[in-house]
Amino acid sequence: MSDPRYIIGIDLGTTHCAMAMALLPTGDDAKDTSPAVTAFPVPQLVTQSGMESRPLLPSCLYFAHASEGALALPWDKERTFAVGEYARTRGAESPTRVVASAKSWLSHTGIDRRGPVLPLGAPEDVEKISPVEASFRYLEHLGEAWDRDVAKGDKSLQLAAQEVVITVPASFDAGARELTAEAAAAAGIEHLTLLEEPQAALYAWIDARGDKWRKEVKVGDVILVVDVGGGTTDFSAIAAVDSGGSLELARVAVGDHILLGGDNMDLALAHVAARKLEEQGKEVDRWQMVGLTFACRVAKEALLNDASLASYPLSIAARGGKLIGGGLRTEITREELVATVIDGYFPVVEASARPAVRPRGGLTQAGLPYAQDAAVTRHLASFLGRQADAIAKVAGASPTTSGTLLHPTAIVFNGGVMKSPALRERIVSTLDAWLVADGAAPVRVLEGSDLDLAVARGAVSYGLVRHGRGLRIRGGTARAYYVGIESPAPAVPGVEPPVSALCVAPFGMEEGTNVDLPAHELYVVVGEKVRFRFFGSSVRRADVAGTELHRWKKDELAELAPIEVTLPAGARAEGDVVPVHLHAAITEVGTLRLEAVPTTALVAEERWKLELNVRGEV
Amino acid sequence: MPPDLPFLTRAWFAFACFFRVLVSGTFAGSVWRLQEAQPVPPPPAPAPVPLPAAPVAATPDPALQLLALLQREGRFVDFLEQDVASFSDADVGAAARVVHDGCRRALRSHTKLSPLRTEEEGARVTIAEGFAPDEVKLTGNVQGKAPFTGVLRHRGWRARDLVLPTMVKAYDATILAPAEVEL
């Protein structure tokens, strides 16, 4: 195995992937210089037989029908599936053969994420794949593209042999992170690190500002990262703290996983336009709806970027060769844009507002758990409210006046949606109103990085930081993890037995660390699968391994997919009950590793790995 | 090769060869090789035409490829092939938006278009001596010598870095758009 020569950053996005790279610093390089970070344009099929290199790779996978022949790539002439732009366009024409939003499925605990479920409703000739395999296919494509354009046959330069940083939403729990690492392992990546996307966005900002960033961020600052992409919304807070006289950055809070993004907004506008057309007695078919959605995205961007436009015309061609006369014509007015996108997704709300939660209907189809409240600002209010005390216990943080919400002093935007000045302005003005009402100063906006590629570039910057080039954001795990223990109690019909939560991994565990065994013993039966309920908390910072909670506030703990362990018979007799402790470690990759360690080991180093990501009972 | 020659012709040919061998080294060399029963080396193959850096073999017909691109993104061929006379301006205008939006996106993502002159149209400009005639076309009362002074009527266009999709497998460039059948 040869030493890596490059650092590669991969933004494995819900709607698009992007990749950036830098040469690894060598011993000869001066310590204070950092290699330049460049984007890697990804070759991909754009038509059935034509290939182009583009900055973004749409996260779509298309399975060709046998009649289509191969979807050849220069490195594989026989391929029967396509990743990227051609897959995206085929998704509009033949949706049941296309996998999209695989990443959202990766964090969906209601399904078996290693089971073949995608594409939903696929015809019989399509061999369905798991969300993990879909993620692997995107990584595989990026790797093949890299090997063709950079490695060019040199094995030591292949992507799999380089240092790779893959970004994941800060809101991914331990299970979804583990599955991402599995996809990377399947792609053969040897040196992997996971990084939270909002942190990557901040690294990219620091890189884009060069040395000037230290003038813009001071000890005591709390930087809020608002990342609204095509499919997901992600919040993080990063504090600038004092560490022995020098500035240090610490990620202090992350938000929940919110499936809400730019694609939802385009679709909402398309429904507004379709309703107007239907009122005129015109019918909009499925194919035209796709065109309408695309046209609405163009209209949304035009209206958001140019405040002088009163409306933007939409023209949707008929599908046949007769272009003139057969199409649909309407417009999106500024009032509709304001009502649908600005006030619909970014309403001016009070700091005390919280996202509405509707009870789900009894007959819900298998589908993604999209956010039930479309208001990004309400989700933001909820995040800041829940995390009001986030920096109170962070070493070196300036004491803040206690308020009803976390007080950010600066804000960094990320994600395609946030390219719009009007939407940034709405978030800033809403946030400022909350802060002033809570006795704090308004925020400063930290500008200056390309929002489409920032995460991939930031991932490379992080890779360089790990080699001593720049300042590292401290953070550790964004959650504390708990195992559910049923307390012995007489059965009462209709009442669930009380459950207590035993902390096995505390908040803020750093990569490459592990915690002592909690004293509490659990019992497993040899030869049988034993399941435990599993919980995470993004707010309980004080619990240590072994803390047992008998009661907690409703939104403090969130139930995750259960965990499972099977003790092989081996040295022990089948059916024996073995007392074990649970031991947690955070691997160098950044994933959580839970092991059951027997109280009395029969052989040295006797321990069994607990499986995360077991499918929950729905 | 000519067939066997009659004696008189051979006598004349031998005489002619005698003098040509004397005066022409090249001819002498040819006859020498013939005499040694060695075939004359073939004339050197024409020097290969230098290929552009782009993989030309993969793009058999850039013009058709561009047309297919404009059709795919902006329904360009559909628009030109339909008779516009029977439709109202509003209908044609609506279709033009589809074509304009799509073709512009296609062009901008595959080439860099820029005007040749940076001045505003209508501005007075001076064209110095030694200007490139394919960049600047003189119109109106054209006479005399450079420098010329006149009014900029059109700024001109230049396309840089046209990058078309690389064709990965054999394909028929004459198909600008496939027929579509919905099942």
Cross-chain Cβ contact A327/B82 below 8 Å: no
Pairing verdict, β A410-414 and A222-228: parallel
Query: In the beta sheet, which residues pair with residue A537?
Result: A480
* Residue to test with chain A: of B168, B181, B182, most A Cβ within 10 A: B168
- The answer to whether residue B180 scores a pLDDT higher than 80 is yes
Closest by Cα among A74, A141, A131, A68 to A99: A131
- How high is the pLDDT of residue A295? 86
C-alpha angle A453-A458-A461 in degrees, rounded to nearest 5: 135
- How high is the pLDDT of residue B42? 44
- How high is the pLDDT of residue B54? 43
- How high is the pLDDT of residue A93? 79
pLDDT tens-place string over residues A409-460: 999 999 989 998 999 999 999 999 999 999 899 999 998 777 889 999 999 9
Cross-chain Cβ contact A315/B87 below 8 Å: no
- How high is the pLDDT of residue A396? 67
**CA A469 to each of CA A29, A203, A454, A517: distance values in angstroms, whole numbers, following the listed order:** 11, 12, 18, 36
3-class secondary structure per residue, A223-273: EEEEEECCCCEEEEEEEEEEECCEEEEEEEEECCCECCCHHHHHHHHHHHH
**Distance (Å) from the C-alpha of residue A290 to the closest C-alpha of chain B?**
14
Tell me the Ramachandran region of residue A188: left when phi exceeds 0, alpha when psi lies from -120 to 50, beta otherwise. Answer: left
pLDDT tens-place string over residues B62-94: 899 999 999 999 999 999 999 989 899 988 998
Residues from chain B that touch A295, judged by Cβ atoms under 8 A, are 101
Phi and psi of A369, rounded to 5°?
-80, 75
- The answer to whether residue A19 scores a pLDDT higher than 90 is yes
Residues listed for chain A: 618
Tokens 């995040």 sit at which residue?
A383
Cross-chain Cβ contact B75/A325 below 8 Å: no
Confidence grade of residue B58 (pLDDT, cut at 50, 70, 90)? very low
Q: Rounding to the nearest 10 degrees, give the CA dihedral for residues A394, A397, A398, A404.
A: -40
Tell whether domain A6-194 is in CATH 3.30.2010.10. no
Cross-chain Cβ contact A324/B166 below 8 Å: no
Q: Which long-range contacts (CB under 8 A, 24 or more apart) does A542-545 make?
A: A542/A393, A543/A480, A543/A503, A543/A506, A543/A507, A544/A503, A544/A506, A544/A515, A545/A503, A545/A504, A545/A505, A545/A506, A545/A515, A545/A516, A545/A517, A545/A518, A545/A584
Mean pLDDT on A141-150? 96
Instruction: Record the tokens describing residue B63, joined without a space.
Output: 């013009």
Name the residue of chain B whose CA is nearest to A53's CA: B165
pLDDT tens-place string over residues A216-267: 999 989 999 999 988 889 999 999 998 888 889 999 999 988 888 988 899 8
- The answer to whether residue A485 scores a pLDDT higher than 60 is yes
CB-closest option in B72, B90, B167 to A49: B167
**Which DSSP symbol is given to A383?**
H
- The answer to whether residue A2 scores a pLDDT higher than 80 is no
pLDDT tens-place string over residues A299-356: 998 898 888 899 998 888 877 778 888 778 899 999 999 999 999 999 999 999 999 8
**Distance (Å) from the C-alpha of residue B75 to the closest C-alpha of chain A?**
8
Confidence grade of residue A271 (pLDDT, cut at 50, 70, 90)? very high
What span, in angstroms and rounded, lies between the C-alpha atoms of A445 and A455?
Answer: 18
**CA A106 to each of CA A140, A230, A479: distance values in angstroms, whole numbers, following the listed order:** 17, 16, 18
Cross-chain Cβ contact A50/B91 below 8 Å: no
* Residue to test with chain A: of B105, B169, B175, most A Cβ within 10 A: B169
What span, in angstroms and rounded, lies between the C-alpha atoms of A213 and A197?
Answer: 19
CB A186 within 8 A of CB A136: yes
Residues from chain B that touch A292, judged by Cβ atoms under 8 A, are none
Q: What residues have CB less than 8 Å from B157, skipping those under 6 apart?
A: B113, B114, B115, B116
Q: What is the ipTM of this complex?
A: 0.76
CB-closest option in A45, A50, A329 to B94: A329
- How high is the pLDDT of residue B1? 44
Name the residue of chain B whose CA is nearest to A292's CA: B98
Cross-chain Cβ contact A316/B98 below 8 Å: yes
Cross-chain Cβ contact B168/A72 below 8 Å: yes
* Residue to test with chain B: of A324, A328, A329, most B Cβ within 10 A: A324
CATH fold match for the domains A6-194 and A262-345: no
**Distance (Å) from the C-alpha of residue B145 to the closest C-alpha of chain A?**
48
- How high is the pLDDT of residue A344? 92
Q: pLDDT averaged over chain A?
A: 88
Considering the entire predicted model, what is its pTM?
Answer: 0.84
Cross-chain Cβ contact A324/B167 below 8 Å: no
Confidence grade of residue A618 (pLDDT, cut at 50, 70, 90)? very low
For A492, the enclosing helix (H) or strand (E) is none
**CA A176 to each of CA A102, A172, B52, B96: distance values in angstroms, whole numbers, following the listed order:** 12, 6, 48, 47
CB A265 within 8 A of CB A417: yes
Cross-chain Cβ contact B79/A323 below 8 Å: yes
Confidence grade of residue B56 (pLDDT, cut at 50, 70, 90)? very low
Helix (H, G, I), strand (E, B) or coil at A557: coil
- How high is the pLDDT of residue B7? 62
Higher pLDDT, A396 or A135: A135
CB-closest option in A52, A72, A324 to B82: A324
Domain boundaries, chain A: 6-194, 262-345, 480-611
The correct CATH number of A262-345 out of 3.40.50.300, 3.40.190.10, 3.90.640.10, 1.10.1840.10 is 3.90.640.10
- How high is the pLDDT of residue A487? 72
- How high is the pLDDT of residue B57? 46
Count of CB atoms situated within 10 Å of the CB of A268: 17
Confidence grade of residue A529 (pLDDT, cut at 50, 70, 90)? confident
pLDDT tens-place string over residues A49-97: 899 999 999 999 999 999 988 999 999 999 999 999 999 988 877 888 9
Q: Cα A538 from chain centroid?
A: 15
Mean pLDDT on A20-45? 86
Mean pLDDT on A541-548? 89
Tell me the Ramachandran region of residue A214: left when phi exceeds 0, alpha when psi lies from -120 to 50, beta otherwise. Answer: alpha
Half-sphere exposure (Cβ direction) of B8: Cα atoms closer than 13 Å: 0
Residues listed for chain B: 183
Q: Where are the alpha helices (DSSP H) in A109-212?
A: 131-146, 174-186, 197-209
Confidence grade of residue B30 (pLDDT, cut at 50, 70, 90)? low
**Distance (Å) from the C-alpha of residue A510 to the closest C-alpha of chain B?**
44
Q: State the amino acid at position A359 in one-letter form.
A: P
- The answer to whether residue B43 scores a pLDDT higher than 80 is no
What span, in angstroms and rounded, lies between the C-alpha atoms of B54 and B83?
Answer: 38
Higher pLDDT, A467 or B7: A467
Helix (H, G, I), strand (E, B) or coil at A578: strand
CB A233 within 8 A of CB A227: yes
Query: In the beta sheet, which residues pair with residue A251?
Result: A238
CB-closest option in B72, B98, B171 to A323: B98
Closest by Cα among A269, A446, A277 to A342: A269
- How high is the pLDDT of residue A402? 63
Q: Where are the alpha helices (DSSP H) in A252-333?
A: 262-279, 286-305
CB-closest option in A72, A313, A323 to B82: A323
Q: State the amino acid at position A417 in one-letter form.
A: V
Query: In the beta sheet, which residues pair with residue A531?
Result: A564
Tokens 């709806």 sit at which residue?
A289
CB-closest option in B87, B92, B165 to A47: B165
Q: Cα B22 from chain centroid?
A: 49
